[in-house]
Amino acid sequence: MVLDRDRLLDMHHRMWLIRYFDEGARTLFMANMLRGTTHTYTGQEGVAVGACTALNRDDYITSTHRGHGHCLAKGGNPRRMMAELLGRATGICKGKGGSMHIADFELGILGANGIVGGGIALATGAAYSADLRGSGQVVVCFFGDGASNQGILMEAGNMAALWKLPIIYLCEENQYAEFSPSRPFIAVDRLEQKAQAFGMPAVTVDGNDVLAVYEATRQVVARARAGDGPTFMVARTYRIEGHTVGDPLSYRPKDEAELWKSAERDPISRFGRRLVEEFGCTEADLEAQRLRARADIDEAIAFGKASPEPELPALFEDVYA
């Protein structure tokens, strides 16, 4: 697949969409308009957009508690997602899931997940299902470096390798695991070494280079679709904000995030430069995408705020089929 100019600009738009969605979520949370907790994807946009650009509409993803980015990258509707964060009846889950349970089965989004590593077995099951049905679908399972320590990865990864399932385990190494740096909790030097336990091929990619993520994903997706089995993929990136909105970030150097926010490292800035230098886009093209994303999110927030709360009978709906 060659990415044409429109597709590239759409990727740029999607990255901004994620950035502004989470900026909006943070603002609403700080204004006490969101309940519970919320986790932002800021700084990791290149991973979700790069990976999902390599997928078809009917391919599956599983997401994480830090899931807004994955869902938007797979085509999730920002209006219905924002309404969900606001707990409204128009939300993608009718206001009953919230930030950590965004799902859209029509787009193959099998759900964000409140359990760290919770999507790993589900994704593997979706791959088993695709394989058994002979549908040609593939699965990208997003999880973090923190989740890579969950035992379920050992079990599911082993079965995926044994059964040559069409799945990509995409570990986003954002360098933090909840309220701690991840490194002191991982015994191996490089995360891709974990794939050796399954005899599974592994690739590592610069997660802040959206085109590198796209190209790597495209190759391993082709491999999976051809029936050649799963791949373990590590995308190295950085979690610019805290574990949750409101996290005091006492566990990391104050200037560290500034470095990753700089134009040299920020995935949106980096992609913008490549678009100009390698693909003939203009600054005006980029600005148009940014402004479109800004407007989309403003509109999504307005839609959410104007939407009604669920009626009380909804409490008892959808417990059972």
Partner 1 sequence: MREILYRDALNEALHEEMARDPAVCVLGEDVGRYGGVLQVTRGLFDQYGEKRVRDTPISEAGFTGIAVGAAMTGLRPVVEVMYIDFSALAMDQIVNQAAKARYMFGGKASVPLVLRTQGGGGRGNAAQHSQSLEMWYVHVPGLVVIQPATPSDAKGLLKSAIRDDNPVIFIEHKLLYNTTGPVPEPGPDHLVPIGVADIKRPGGDVTIVATSRMVLLALQAAEQLAAEGIDAEVIDPRTLKPLDLPAIIRSVEKTGRLVAVNEGALTGGFTAEVAARVQREAFDWLDAPVMQVAAEDVPLPYNGRLELAALPSVEKIIAAAKAALYWDR
Enumerate binding residues for partner 1 (CB under 8 A).
60, 62, 91-97, 101, 103-105, 110-111, 113-115, 118, 120-133, 151-152, 154-156, 158-159, 162-163, 317-321
- Closer residue to partner 1 (CB): 80 or 290: 80
Q: Where are the beta strands (DSSP E) in the chain?
A: 60-62, 139-144, 167-173, 176-177, 180-181, 202-206, 231-236
DSSP state of 109: B
- Closer residue to partner 1 (CB): 3 or 89: 89
Q: How far is the CB of 304 from partner 1 (least distance, A)?
A: 15
What separation in angstroms does the CA of 45 have from each of 42, 69, 224, 234, 244? 7, 6, 24, 15, 17
- Closer residue to partner 1 (CB): 69 or 119: 119
- Closer residue to partner 1 (CB): 115 or 306: 115
Tell me the helix, strand and coil percentages in the chain, rounded to 5.
50, 10, 40
Q: How far is the CB of 229 from partner 1 (least distance, A)?
A: 14
Q: Is the dihedral of CA 300, 102, 269, 288 positive or negative?
A: negative
| Strand-pair category, 176-177 with 167-173 | unpaired
Q: How far is the CB of 288 from partner 1 (least distance, A)?
A: 34
Cα–Cα dist 204/217, whole Å: 11
DSSP state of 313: G
Cα–Cα dist 50/28, whole Å: 28
- Closer residue to partner 1 (CB): 253 or 320: 320
Q: How far is the CB of 135 from partner 1 (least distance, A)?
A: 8
- CA 220 to chain CA mean position, Å: 18
Q: How far is the CB of 232 from partner 1 (least distance, A)?
A: 16
How many CA atoms, within 13 angstroms, populate the side-chain half-sphere of residue 312? 0
Q: How far is the CB of 188 from partner 1 (least distance, A)?
A: 21
- Closer residue to partner 1 (CB): 60 or 271: 60
- Closer residue to partner 1 (CB): 133 or 254: 133
- Closer residue to partner 1 (CB): 78 or 95: 95
Q: How many CB atoms lie within 10 A of CB 189?
A: 8
Asked if residues 64 and 227 have their Cβ atoms less than 8 Å apart, the reply is no
Q: How far is the CB of 316 from partner 1 (least distance, A)?
A: 10
Q: How far is the CB of 136 from partner 1 (least distance, A)?
A: 13
